[in-house]
Amino acid sequence: MNSRTALKTCETIPLRGGGRGGKFGAKNVLVLAATVALFVWSYRGAEIELTQLFSRDSVQQIVIYIKKLIPPDFSAPVLHGALKGTIETFAISFMGTLMAVGIALSVVFFASRNLIYSGLLYEMEPKQGWKRTARMLPYLAAKSLLNVLRTIPEMVWALIFVFMVGLGSFPGVLALGVHTGGVLGKLFGEVLEDVDTQPIESLQATGATRMQILFYGILPQVLPQFVAYTLYRWEVNIRVAAVLGLVGAGGLGQRIHIAISLFLENQLLTLIIAIYILVTIVDYLSAYLRRKVI
Amino acid sequence: MNDLQQQYRLEEVRKVFGRHQIALDGIDLNVQRGEKLALIGPSGAGKTTLFRLLNCTLRPTTGKLWLDDCDVESLHGKRLRAMRRQIGTIYQQHNLVQRLKVVHNVLAGQLGRWSTPRSLMSLAKPADLGLAHKALEQVGIADKIFERTDELSGGQQQRVAIARVLVQDPEVILADEPVSSVDPTLASTIVRLLIDISESTRKTLIVSLHSVDLALAYFPRVIGISHGSITFDLSPDKISEAMLEGLYAGNDREQPATEAVNEPASPIAYPSIS
């Protein structure tokens, strides 16, 4: 019951073989044609030139660059810098994710239809009237707020916040927090709207208020999935935090940007290794914790 | 004066889902305070919908439903919750919040009386442990009080649901197929438990049962429902074999998927108790 909806996004696409006319029915042919057309159009649009990628020239360039990267610079000041950057990146992703949870939790309950204006909890309430409209307003406001937060990418938020509060880690935290807040709000909302209604109906039948039903019937069901989604987004955020520095928002990214700009290739490799280790550790940690809660 | 004795009055109650799915098709029913009655009938006959109307979860599409001489139509908000508090419901299954401890599921019967802060605090530290313990003792599983609900068997969970109703202490107990997911011996124990509770505290008891034998053995009034209408409303000694066969005729294969689990094919063939 509880793992049923966890991270289900990839399962919701139904895999049904064949249309009405069998394997080569009109529907399938149409879908195939549309896919091919889209491919050709996008290939042109993205200016893909495979010949250029695999030309002798570019292969040579890559080999030269890789040679420049090796060996990684493990001198004390560089290691120290990489370590400091790693800790910064970790801290940015952690604080950003925490802030995101705060944003998501304070908005999501208003953005769930079944909690705010329709469905089982409102079955006996008058269907029309100003009260229903009044309940719909916070729903629409919350939903659109989450959409705005989510559709603007972290990088764009980071640029905005660097402009607002200056360079450093803080704008990175804000950017991650705001964007991920929107993402988690949407994910949490889906979990909430998908909650098992039977226990809720039976709680409502005892005369419980909606607030009591939320704490006794809904939260116990959804919290494990909230935690799982949060951990998953934290994994994503550690990678994002590593590149946020490219726009001046602190962490390893900022050092990478500097290393590339100043042609310090050996230092660059050290930083890439640092990212690799950090991401691997957080991935394992998060996967372990997720197994624990579900 | 006679009116005060009346618990439920239903007049021409219809419930239609969507546009065409008629669940209840004109139900007239009077239930006196303290009465014990059983509902029988094939799956999909509308029993569950009737229960959801009786416990104020759904409104009738047309028709009138009075509860304690109060027109349910007029109820909402606080007064609706106060009315719901007077009705305790036990469902077929999935009554309980699986991830909560037993004690919280039992004390959820108090939610209609508790303030929101008090009910939240109770989740951290159970507010009325004695009450929960007493209720669980009454249903014979006091030792499970601190276990997580999803670790209990189906029969034990059904007892927890009954303990919750005991804590709620309502005027009416509604039980919708309370024993269809437990074995026959346990089924009669649970039905007897409900009857005892109803008799010792003068509560109105309405139970829908899959087992005709249980209904006829324990209830002074048995109502047959099929296709959303009442086909008979009699004391068990007046119900003939022919009436029962008529009630279930042509319904063998029409069980909707939601109710089909755990149910034997023909209700009459259910093992008899004595």
> SS3 letters for chain B?
CHHHHEEEEEEEEEEEECCCEEEEEEEEEEEECCCEEEEECCCCCCHHHHHHHHCCCCCCCEEEEEECCEEHHHCCHHHHHHHHHCEEEECCCCCCCCCCEHHHHHHHHHCCCCCHHHHHHHHHCCCCHHHHHHHHHHCCCHHHCCCEHHHCCHHHHHHHHHHHHHHHCCCEEEEECCCCCCCHHHHHHHHHHHHHHHHHHCCEEEEECCCHHHHHHHCCEEEEEECCEEEEEECHHHCCHHHHHHHHCCCCCCCCHHHHCCCCCCHHHCCCCC
Q: Specify the pLDDT at position A190.
A: 92
Beta strands B229-234; B62-67: pairing state: unpaired
Question: Chain A residues with CB inside 8 Å of B112's CB?
Answer: 206-208
Task: Tell me, yes or no, if B59 comes closer than 8 A to chain A by beta carbon.
Answer: yes
pLDDT for B126: 87
SS3 assignment, position A19: strand
B70 touches chain A (CB under 8 A): no
Find, in chain B, the residue whose alpha carbon is nearest to that of A210.
Answer: B116
Residue numbers of B between 110 and 169 with CB closer than 8 Å to A: 111-112, 114, 116, 119-120, 123, 161, 164, 168
Q: What whole-number distance in Å separates Cα of residue B41 and Cα of residue B244? A: 9
Q: Which residues of B touch A220 (CB under 8 A)?
A: 97, 99-100
Angle value at C-alpha B210, between B204 and B214, nearest 5 degrees = 65
Greatest mean pLDDT range, A123-132, B54-63, B241-250: B54-63
B195 Cβ under 8 Å from any chain A Cβ: no
Mean pLDDT confidence for B3-7: 71
**CA–CA distance, B244 with B20 (Å, rounded to integer):** 28
B89-98 average pLDDT score: 86
Closest residue in B to A205 (Cα–Cα): B84
Residue A55: strand, helix, or coil: coil
Which residues have a Cβ under 8 Å from the Cβ of A277 and sit 6 or more positions away? A86
Of B71, B146, B258, B56, which is closest to residue A201 (Cα–Cα)?
A: B56
Nearest chain A residue to B169 by CA: give it: A206
**Would the CB atoms of A209 and B81 count as touching at under 8 Å?**
yes
Phi, psi of B229 (to 5 degrees): -130, 160
DSSP SS3 for A228: helix
Per-residue model confidence (pLDDT) at position B4: 57
Q: Percent of chain B, pLDDT > 70?
A: 89
pLDDT of residue B253 exceeding 50, the answer is no
How far is the C-alpha of B217 from the C-alpha of B239, rounded, in Å? 12
User: Residue A71, preceding bond cis, omega within 30 degrees?
Assistant: yes
Pairing of strands B204-208, B36-40: parallel
Give the largest CA-CA distance in chain A: 76
Among residues A113, A170, A103, the alpha carbon closest in space to that of A138 is found at: A113
Identify whether the C-beta of residue A90 lies closer than 8 Å to the C-beta of residue A290.
no
Helices (H), chain A: 26-45, 50-53, 56-69, 76-108, 113-116, 130-151, 154-165, 169-193, 197-204, 210-213, 219-244, 251-261, 265-293
- Topology of domain A78-293, per CATH? MetI-like fold (1.10.3720)
- Name the percent of chain B lying above pLDDT 90: 19
Q: The whole model's pTM is what?
A: 0.79
**Residue B250 pLDDT class (50, 70, 90 cuts):** low
**Inter-residue contact B232 to B243 (CB < 8 Å):** yes
Could you give the CA distance from residue B225 to residue B27 in angstroms, rounded to a whole number?
A: 10
With beta carbons under 8 A apart, name residues in chain A contacting B23. Answer: none
What's the pLDDT at A22? 63
**Is A206's CB within 8 Å of B111's CB?**
yes
What pLDDT is recorded for position A128? Answer: 66
Mean pLDDT for back-to-back runs of 10 residues, chain A (294 residues): 41 44 79 94 86 82 85 85 90 94 94 80 74 83 94 92 89 94 94 89 90 91 92 91 82 86 87 91 89 79
Chain B residues in contact with A207 by the CB 8 A cut-off are 81-86, 111-112, 168
Q: Residue B102: pLDDT above 70?
A: yes
The pLDDT value recorded for residue B269 is 38
Which range has the worst mean pLDDT, A120-124, A155-159, B96-100, B159-163?
A: A120-124
Q: Alpha-carbon distance A125 to A109, whole Å?
A: 19
Cβ burial, residue A233 (10 Å; 0-12/13-18/19+): buried
Q: B234-265 in b/e burial notation, b at 16+ Cβ within 10 A?
A: eeeeebeeeebeebbeebeeeeeeebeeebee
> In the structure encoding, which two tokens stand for residue B51, read together?
């229960």
How many residues make up chain A in this entry? 294
What number is the average pLDDT over the span B137-155? 87
The interface predicted TM-score of the complex, written ipTM, equals 0.83
Q: Facing residues of B207 across strands?
A: B38, B175
Tell me whether residues B111 and A212 touch, CB distance under 8 A: yes
Contact between A249 and A175 under an 8 Å Cβ cutoff? The reply is yes
Burial (CB count <10 Å: 0-12, 13-18, 19+), residue A19: middle
pLDDT confidence of residue B238: 85
Cα–Cα nearest to B160, from B121, B107, B99: B107
Most distant CA pair in chain B: distance in Å? 56
The pLDDT assigned to A9 comes to 40
| Mean pLDDT, rounded, for B100-121 | 90
- The contacts of residue B130 (CB under 8 Å, 6+ apart) are none
Neighbours of A134 (CB within 10 A): 10
pLDDT in tens, B169-196: 999 999 998 888 778 888 888 898 899 9
Domains in chain B, CATH or no CATH each:
1-86+172-267 (3.40.50.300), 94-169 (no CATH)
Cβ neighbours of B33 (radius 10 Å): 15
Question: Cβ distance A204 to A127 under 8 Å?
Answer: no
